[in-house]
Amino acid sequence: MPTPRAITLLLLVGLLTAWLGQSLIGPPRPDGSPDRLLLPLQVQAAHDDERILIRLRWPTPEAHRYHDVLRFDGERWEVLGAGDAPGLGEERVSMMLDDGGVPEFARYGGYLLIGDGTRFMPGAADEADVEAHPILGQELGLSDIRKHLPDSRLGRWDEVPSTTALEAQRAAGYFLDLWHWRGDRGGPVNVVDDLHVAEHRHPDQGRSSYGTNWDDERGQPRYMFDPERAGQRALHAGQFDTDGMAPADTRFLTPDNRLDFDPEHDWQPGDTLPRRFLREADGSRADIEGHGGWENGWREVVFSRALDTGNPLEDKVIRPGGQYSVAFAVHSGGATGRHHHVSLPLSLGLDRPADIPVQRMPGGRPDWSRESREVMLFYPGQVNWPRITGPRHAGAEAVDQGIPASARHDAYQLALYGVEAEAEDAVVRRWLISVGLGLLFIVAVAAAGLSLGRRGP
């Protein structure tokens, strides 16, 4: 083959293979990242001057997932959680709400809350260090760092203002309301966990709608089903699908169908009890109801809360005519911890234009037949607030100027950035090799081209 054609052929083989290779490699898939980086969430809202209703729908294949269970292996009871067996890890949806008390929230949403030392992130604070901390550990009784607002720290996670200063921030409205529906914990009794985020993600005052069915001292469950009311003492292996923990017959431990656990019973391998029991919630923690169900592959949850709960240090007061900021998150398909899908912040307006308009309910009944707002949730990976505001983010100056995240990024882009941040070392290594070999290839093309001069036309 004449040399110019041979050069052309090798050049095209190299370049087209490189193009094909980069197009097939796709984004990195770090351990724990979901199969789908995006998840649609349909949102509607209504109010009647007394209560606000927020209807949320997202696709999920299962009607119910236990969050975790206790299973008898023939000798002892073991705890199985998400990741230990397919089918575990409850569905969850949460909404953070602000009334302007945290101005940055309207621009950056949940990113704002992932500060230095946060659990599940690089540089997570050591449990012993948190417990030994004079304010976080000794005064607040914390053992890890969770969501917290930037100004609740003076720098690193352990540089905390005085409790007096933190209380003043709270009184000034510097906190976020967090409504958290948990499919296996509270969801079955229509209670949404009412939480708030300030220097930590705290539960509101009162009792939650769920407890832990495990007696640490005795190493056994605390409750079992009452056979007279539930038909059996425990779920049997045959009541789950063959390779996982997806229940064919979902049962919950409630005050009406449970008895104290009987260790003398002839338990069989595979006997299973929910690790959570349900109970009546009370106080500020029980301010939000959550109704809904699952149908045709879609989970629906309708939050319902009084516009003013009377707990202004834990709940944001919502007023007709007001505009608020919200951000959503969904844990689906067994996702736990940070492996969720989140939204950028959106506006919520009562009787006024907003991303999510809250329309007045005619006759006190919501009209869900009107079109819903579809919010694209994305997997955020391991991107935290210090990274966003630090020298490793080219847009840090824009953040400092108050330019919202949505002005520069969309959900798809943020999902890709998230997984890349999580797998950064491996990505950068391969990128460097690819760039270097690309340059050497160009040198080879140049050498081959120059050789034509020796050959002549």
Partner 1 sequence: MSGLHHMLVHFPIVLWLLAGSIMLLRLVRHTPEWLQMAGLLALALGVVTALAAMLSGLFAWAPEAVLASPLGRNKLAFALWTTAWWSMLLILHWRLSAILFAPGHRLLTAVLVLVGIVLVTITGTLGGLLGGVSAGIPELLRQAGFEVYTTIRLPWWALLVLVASGLGLLRLAGGERRQA
The residue ranges that bind partner 1 (CB under 8 A) are 2-8, 10-15, 17-27, 387, 391-394, 396, 407-408, 412-413, 416-417, 420-421, 424, 427-428, 430-431, 433-435, 437-457
Please tell me the distance from the alpha carbon of residue 162 to that of residue 168, in angstroms, as a whole number.
10
Report angle CA 175, 181, 185 to the nearest 5 degrees.
Answer: 120
Please tell me the distance from the alpha carbon of residue 317 to that of residue 310, in angstroms, as a whole number.
8
Least distance between partner 1 and beta carbon 88 (Å): 31
Least distance between partner 1 and beta carbon 28 (Å): 8
Eight-class DSSP state of 322: -
Closest to partner 1 by CB, 74 vs 456, is 456
Least distance between partner 1 and beta carbon 437 (Å): 6
Least distance between partner 1 and beta carbon 107 (Å): 16
Q: If you count them, how many residues does the chain have?
A: 457
Residue (of 268, 274, 267, 270) closest to 242 by Cα position: 270
Closest to partner 1 by CB, 123 vs 312, is 123
How far apart, in Å, do the first and last CA atoms of the chain sit?
Answer: 15
Residue recorded with tokens 């930590």: 200
Report angle CA 138, 151, 338 to the nearest 5 degrees.
Answer: 75
Closest to partner 1 by CB, 149 vs 383, is 383
* C-beta separation of 194 from 314 below 8 A: yes
Structure tokens at 222: 């605390």
Closest to partner 1 by CB, 169 vs 389, is 389
Closest to partner 1 by CB, 7 vs 306, is 7
**Residue 24 — φ and ψ, nearest 5°?**
-85, -25
Least distance between partner 1 and beta carbon 337 (Å): 23
Least distance between partner 1 and beta carbon 11 (Å): 6
**Torsion angle of the four alpha carbons 430, 434, 435, 440, in this order, in degrees rounded to the nearest 10:** 140
Closest to partner 1 by CB, 243 vs 425, is 425
Alpha-carbon torsion 358, 361, 366, 371, what sign?
negative
Closest to partner 1 by CB, 244 vs 449, is 449
Please tell me the distance from the alpha carbon of residue 347 to that of residue 338, in angstroms, as a whole number.
24
Closest to partner 1 by CB, 298 vs 412, is 412
Least distance between partner 1 and beta carbon 411 (Å): 11
Closest to partner 1 by CB, 16 vs 128, is 16
Please tell me the distance from the alpha carbon of residue 41 to that of residue 169, in angstroms, as a whole number.
32
Q: Which residues pair with 80 in a beta bridge?
A: 69
Cβ of 101: how many Cβ atoms within 10 Å?
A: 17
Eight-class DSSP state of 254: -
Least distance between partner 1 and beta carbon 399 (Å): 12
Residue recorded with tokens 């149908």: 295
Least distance between partner 1 and beta carbon 105 (Å): 23
Alpha-carbon torsion 191, 176, 117, 379, what sign?
positive
Helix (H, G, I), strand (E, B) or coil at 262: coil
Least distance between partner 1 and beta carbon 138 (Å): 37
Closest to partner 1 by CB, 102 vs 423, is 423
Amino acid at 278: L
Closest to partner 1 by CB, 8 vs 205, is 8
Least distance between partner 1 and beta carbon 377 (Å): 17
Helix (H, G, I), strand (E, B) or coil at 191: strand
Please tell me the distance from the alpha carbon of residue 106 to that of residue 103, in angstroms, as a whole number.
6
